[in-house]
Amino acid sequence: MKRKLVALITVSCLFSISLVAQDKSPAKFGKVTPDDFKQTVYSIDSNASAVIIADIGSTEMEGNTKGSFSLLFKNYRRAHILNKNGYEIGDVTIPIYTDGNAEESLDNLKAVTYNLENGKVVETKLEVKSAVYKDRINKNLVIKKFTFPNIKEGSIIEYQYTLKSDFIFNLQPWEFQGKYPRLWSEYNVSIPEFYYYVTLTQGYLSYHIRDQKSRSGKFSISDNRGTSATAHENVDANITDYRWVIKDIPALKEESFTSTLSNHIARLEFQLAELRYPFVPRNIMGTWSKVCEDLLKDEDFGYSLSRDNPWLNDVMDAATKGAKDNVQKAKNIFTYVRDNMTCTNHNRKYLEQPLRNVLKDRNGNEAEINLLLVAMLRKAGLQADPVMLSTRSHGYTYPMYPLMDRFNYVIAQLQMDGRTYYLDASEPRMGFGRLDYDCYNGHARVINSDATPIELLADSLLERSVTSVFIISNEKKELEGSLQHSAGYFESYRLRNKVKEKGKEQLISDIKKDFNADVEIGDMAIDSLDKYDDPIQLKYSFGLKRENEDIIYINPMFGEGYKENPFKSAERFYPVEMPYTIDETYLLQLAVPEGYVTDEIPRQLVVKLNENDDGMFEYRISESGGTISMRSRLRIRRAYFQSDEYEMLREFFNLVVKKHNEQIVFKKKK
């Protein structure tokens, strides 16, 4: 994970260097001419359905009437809609922070659609009072949204607004990149010396401008909230002006083996770290030790874990029944919680109800269920702690800084007999000591007195599978055979869920589709379906119907191979993040169909991914005594590949796909 953070995220303390001259975007609000409509295709992306011409933001501070400071964020954007697929860019959502008592205010919103009609620019203005809607997302987020009026193919749209915030910690982030290409993206921030923010920078694009300048400034502050006369104060301070510009930014498109695009988008984010003079100096961000200490005292997280919790007495006997040692005791408790609780939400890090209610009602979010698991393990005298992490789909965390909004999931850590186990009882049919691969996202934090950091890495997961196929010709000269498949753990988990939700018949239907031939499936057996700690063993027989052709073509992979390359793009600008490493073996024994001879078989191939042997593909096939023997093995030892390794990986899988789609040719005997 360390190499990810080096490659993906540069953490700086608002320090930058002027690289180029102070260029400016030519776009200005209201200045749209007929010439602006002439370009219907942009070289940055000839297939783009819309292009953002300019996206410019700025944040500065001003003294307010509450004895402190406010943030003023301004945003201007212009976009050109090229076809109907780009209409979506006309739907605008503005996030607004609230604490329940007060919220940021949206001011001076203007939005205009421009169309070229009979050689003239025609404006359609947004009716702000009637066309802007407000939705509450959660206790800290509301959104205001609107849709541009009179959008057509070729329309130019632009908007501008000001967001005023008394929440000084909520300095607006900036995304340089998104779904549509951008010709100019710029962010300007002015910060006085008495606030210290840490800047988190991520992405792979080079700055066109990265500049900082210092100047002197004056702030006027008053406080009219009391009953006495209003107090006024003028504050002199040094101010640093920062400017970031990126030009000609391609759209960021999601590709296979991507954790989440939010990890890779070119972006700036700010975290308030310290208050400095003339405030009373203090650390705002805190340390991991202090954060964990507070979490363990928090009634919405760890407070109950340090209690005796007598309400657990009634269930502990049932949960530990039959256990003769600590390992069995832990497994029984885990099984009890997993099989008796229903998870209502898999995206939480705090309690929304007391643990006693979770046990009573037998449902809760994943944090509640796994904190209940920790409480029960501790009640049984075992060493267990909660672990807070961020799932792959939620994004990376920062080991250096305790940024709690980066976390979204809680699991349990159990240390026993010199081993460490990670447990998630919120997932039905998940085995003891197993986590969904979505939890393996690098840095996580054990919430204990030591604030222990851990690394849950996809590289540590191996998905191993073996498939064996045997085929002969029966008395009707039809092909019949059997297949045995030892699935990897995550495939087993998916199969269990599929059978539970859709039944075996759907599984049989899916197998038939994979064969891509007229096939009958019989004698289906699924071993270890209810043994969640073990991989599944799948067995079935099959019959392949065929006509009396002169030539028979058979793909020896029988639906088990790679049909297409998962890496489709010619180039990739961010890393490949596989969920686990793989080792897939396929074995075939195929009797030459009666009345036929082998005319052609694929050539053998053994190839390594690179000199470090991070991957290998083996394809061996031969005929002896009327039987064709084949072995295909694909092994990938790493789950994470940098973008400059993408072409190598793509070409490697091209070879795999090519071999897996080659066929054996049989000719009828003369």
Categorize the per-residue pLDDT at 227 as very low, low, confident or very high, splitting at 50, 70 and 90. low
Q: Tell me how far apart the alpha carbons of residues 223 and 202 are, in angstroms, rounded to a whole number.
A: 39
Tens-place pLDDT, residues 388-426: 999 999 999 999 999 999 999 999 999 999 999 999 999
How big is the chain by its Cα radius of gyration, in Å? Answer: 31
Examine the pLDDT at 4 and tell me if it is beyond 70: no
**Both structure tokens of 195:** 């606030």
Torsion of CA 233, 236, 242, 243, to 10 degrees: 80
Rounded average pLDDT over 235-261: 93
Residue 461 in contact with residue 579, Cβ under 8 Å?
yes
Count CA within 13 A, CB hemisphere, residue 207. 21
Cα dist from 454 to 58, 389, 445, 465, whole Å: 37, 10, 6, 28
Averaged over 178-203, what is the pLDDT? 95
Nearest-angstrom CA–CA distance, 50 and 348 = 36
pLDDT of residue 51: 98
pLDDT digits (tens, 9 = 90+) for 35-45: 999 999 999 99
Instruction: Of 54-58, 277-281, 395-399, 575-579, give the lowest mean pLDDT range.
Output: 277-281
Q: In whole angstroms, what is the distance from residue 607 CA to residue 492 CA?
A: 29
Res. 9 pLDDT band, cuts 50 70 90: very low
- pLDDT band with cut points at 50, 70 and 90 for residue 532: very high
pLDDT digits (tens, 9 = 90+) for 643-659: 999 999 999 999 999 99
CA-to-CA distance for 401 and 262, rounded, in angstroms?
A: 18
The yes-or-no verdict on residue 14 having pLDDT over 50 is: no
Above 50 in pLDDT, residue 523? yes
Residue-level pLDDT at 5: 40
Q: pLDDT at position 548, please? A: 78
Mean pLDDT lowest among 64-68, 207-211, 560-564, 579-583: 64-68
Tokens describing residue 83: 């076809």
231-249 and 267-275 beta bridge pairing: unpaired
Q: How far apart are CA 390 and CA 373, in angstroms?
A: 19
Distance CA 345, CA 290 (A): 28
pLDDT of residue 76 exceeding 80, the answer is yes
Residue 107 half-sphere exposure, CB side, CA atoms within 13 Å?
11
The three-point CA angle 88-91-94 to 5° equals 140
Instruction: Tell me the pLDDT band of 61, cut-offs 50, 70 and 90.
Output: very high
Given pLDDT bands bounded at 50, 70 and 90, which one contains residue 229?
low
Asked if 295 contacts 410 with a C-beta cutoff of 8 angstroms, the reply is no
Q: How confident is the model at residue 20 (pLDDT cuts 50, 70, 90)?
A: very low
Residues 6+ apart with CB under 8 A from 368: 348, 351, 352, 353, 355, 358
Per-residue pLDDT band at 8 (split at 50, 70, 90): very low
Average pLDDT, the chain: 92
CA distances from 468 to 365, 484, 537, 553, 598 (A): 41, 5, 11, 20, 21
The structural domains of the chain, ordered by start, are 2-281 (2.60.40.3140), 288-456 (3.10.620.30), 462-668 (2.60.120.1130)
Q: Which of 291-300, 483-492, 542-551 has the lowest mean pLDDT?
A: 542-551
The span from the CA of 555 to the CA of 558, in Å, is: 6
The residues, any chain, with a CB within 8 Å of residue 561's CB and separated by 6 or more, are 555, 586, 632, 657, 660, 661
**Which residues make beta-bridge pairs with 552?**
666
Assign 18 a pLDDT band (cuts: 50, 70, 90). Answer: very low
Nearest Cα neighbor of 380 from 322, 312, 426 is 312
For 236, the token pair is 């002199």
Residue 13 has pLDDT above 60, yes or no: no
The one-character DSSP state at 393 is T
Q: Which of 568, 612, 652, 645 is nearest to 3 (CA)?
A: 645
pLDDT at 652: 97
Tell me, what amino acid is at 428? P
DSSP structure string for 564-603: S-S--SS--SS-EE-SSEEEEEEEEEEEPPTTEEEEE-PP
Supply the pTM of this predicted model. Answer: 0.87
pLDDT digits (tens, 9 = 90+) for 599-645: 999 999 999 999 999 999 999 999 999 999 999 999 999 999 999 99
The band of 316, judged by pLDDT with boundaries at 50, 70 and 90, is very high
> Is residue 19 over pLDDT 60?
no
Where does 134-278 have alpha helices with state H? none
Contact (Cβ atoms closer than 8 angstroms) between residue 288 and residue 223: no
Alpha helices in 61-175 (DSSP H): 128-131
Residue 294 · residue 476 · CB < 8 Å: no
